[in-house]
């Protein structure tokens, strides 16, 4: 019973103010929204979703059908409030062209690749109603402070150059967002996201996601969600619902069903997902002395390293009168007395293992950052070249499809005119035969 209550509290309640880490997996699935909280330091979390989407084709080019696998990797190691994540989707698309006639072809490739980070900016404090024992009404009344949301910010980069032709949107482009979360009770919470995506490209869009989640018991929870996407030339939206099942502390299964709306066409979306985490979280600790004070490493200060000739000379003269670290003591051995020079005892503190590890980590991070910058520059140049090349190929394909469509339209028009002439000729022949028969009868 105690274990169940503990799991229920950890699964249903929100994260505490001073820490991001929870003993039970904290997944964003099966919704499209994202909580402002991170997974916690030392946690490596994988969230996957196998989905199928279908709708009617819309005018010109559209993507009416898709089967894909979405993968989201989340981790935190710099700060408890900061999370780094990678979101990518491998997708098999049906690309359709609809004008006078409709044609289609299939394409498989990446439809999304976004590297992002989110940071928890603000966490409100709520009153603990359980401590109110003098008034039943006050204890069970709603705390209006719960309307104040937890606030997080998101920033990411879209890598469009390596995506399939249909999903490529201006190469490398930034994405920013605001993440809000309201906790109306221990069971009910609301997550609201606002995003501005593909900034600086011809495909920039504004979107919002509103998700309500309700926990039924220790293991089951349900959700309802609405999403709206506002692009330059069209508006898309979808409404969905689903459920999640907590199998263990580190494993969750989920499912969702949605209805999508685009250009007066209604489609459906269904998905099944799994969320799993590797929990390597360790609570931070501070090394203290016997008085409870933090032990800090004292670095040896060398004053003569960067001095010139005269500076070193005066330093040596000064050391003549400096108090020595050695002392002379007299040892009595029977009737003999002997003077011995020994070093004065002094207290030395050993270096902390944690401090040594932190220094090594800083050095490795600096090297990794420089390597990442160089790799990013090379990747950017390559992405720009690939983007130009793909744009030429896309334009060439569009022209070819347009020419083929025009040819087919002209050929159909010729066949129609030819058929009309033949029909007219047959009608004239039939009329002549009828006239001849009437003359014979007369």
Per domain, the residue ranges of the chain are 2-279
* Residue position matching structure tokens 């360790």: 282
Mean pLDDT of the chain: 82
pLDDT digits (tens, 9 = 90+) for 252-263: 999 999 999 988
Q: How far is CA 21 from the centre of its chain?
A: 17
Element holding 75 (H helix, E strand): strand 60-76
Give the DSSP H or E segment for 398.
helix 353-441
Please answer whether residues 175 and 115 qualify as being in contact, where contact means their C-beta atoms are separated by less than 8 angstroms: no
In CATH, the number for domain 2-279 is 2.40.160.40
> Which pLDDT band, with edges at 50, 70 and 90, does 2 fall under?
very low
Return the DSSP state at 30.
Answer: T
Distance CA(421)–CA(409), nearest Å, equals 19
Q: For residue 348, what are the contacts with CB-CB under 8 A and spacing of at least 6? A: none
Residue 111 CB neighbours (<10 A): 21
Collect all residues with Cβ–Cβ distance below 8 Å to 263 and sequence separation of at least 6. 58, 59, 234
DSSP strand pairing (188-197 vs 60-76): unpaired
Whether the CB-CB separation of 148 and 127 falls below 8 Å is answered with no
**Three-state DSSP class for 438?**
helix
184-223 confidence digits (pLDDT tens) = 888 899 999 999 999 999 889 999 999 999 999 889 999 9
Which of 82-96, 117-131, 269-283 ranks highest by mean pLDDT? Answer: 82-96
Q: What is the model's pLDDT at position 47?
A: 96
Q: What is the pLDDT of residue 269?
A: 95
Pick from 123-127, 140-144, 264-268: least confident:
140-144
């Amino acid at each position: 019973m105690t274990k169940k209550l503990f799991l229920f509290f950890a699964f249903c309640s929100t994260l505490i103010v001073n820490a991001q880490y929870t003993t039970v997996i904290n997944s964003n699935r099966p919704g499209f929204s994202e909580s402002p909280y991170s997974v916690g330091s030392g946690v490596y979390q994988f969230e996957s979703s196998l989905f199928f989407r279908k709708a009617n084709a819309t005018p010109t080019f559209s993507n009416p059908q898709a089967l894909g696998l979405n993968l989201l990797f989340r981790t935190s190691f710099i700060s408890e409030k900061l999370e780094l994540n990678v979101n990518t989707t491998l997708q098999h698309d049906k690309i359709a062209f609809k004008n006078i006639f409709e044609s289609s072809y299939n394409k498989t490739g990446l439809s999304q690749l976004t590297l992002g980070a989110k940071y928890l900016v603000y966490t409100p404090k709520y009153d603990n109603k359980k401590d109110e024992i003098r008034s039943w009404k006050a204890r069970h009344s709603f705390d209006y402070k719960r309307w104040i949301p937890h606030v997080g910010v998101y920033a990411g980069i879209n890598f469009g150059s390596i995506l399939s032709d249909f999903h490529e949107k201006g190469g490398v482009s930034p994405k920013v967002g605001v993440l809000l979360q309201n906790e109306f009770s221990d069971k009910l919470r609301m997550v609201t996201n606002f995003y501005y995506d593909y900034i600086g490209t011809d495909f920039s869009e504004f979107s919002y996601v509103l998700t309500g989640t309700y926990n039924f018991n220790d293991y089951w929870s349900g959700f309802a969600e609405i999403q709206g996407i506002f692009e330059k030339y069209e508006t898309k939206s979808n409404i969905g619902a689903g459920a999640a099942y907590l199998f263990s502390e580190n494993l969750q299964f989920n499912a969702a069903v949605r209805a999508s709306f685009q250009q007066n066409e209604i489609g459906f979306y269904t998905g099944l997902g799994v969320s799993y985490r590797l929990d390597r979280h360790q609570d931070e600790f501070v090394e203290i002395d016997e008085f409870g004070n933090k032990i800090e490493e004292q670095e040896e200060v060398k004053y003569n390293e960067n001095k010139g000739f005269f500076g070193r000379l005066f330093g040596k003269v000064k050391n003549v009168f400096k108090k020595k670290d050695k002392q002379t003591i007299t040892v009595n051995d029977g009737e003999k007395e002997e003077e011995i020079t020994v070093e004065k005892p002094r207290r030395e503190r050993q270096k902390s293992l944690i401090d040594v590890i932190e220094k090594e980590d800083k050095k490795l991070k600096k090297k990794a950052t420089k390597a990442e910058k160089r790799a990013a520059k090379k990747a950017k140049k390559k992405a720009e070249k690939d983007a130009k090349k793909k744009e030429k190929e896309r334009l060439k394909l569009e022209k070819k499809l347009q020419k083929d469509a025009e040819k087919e339209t002209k050929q159909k028009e010729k066949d129609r005119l030819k058929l009309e002439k033949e029909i007219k000729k047959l009608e004239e022949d039939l009329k002549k035969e009828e006239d001849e028969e009437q003359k014979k009868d007369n």
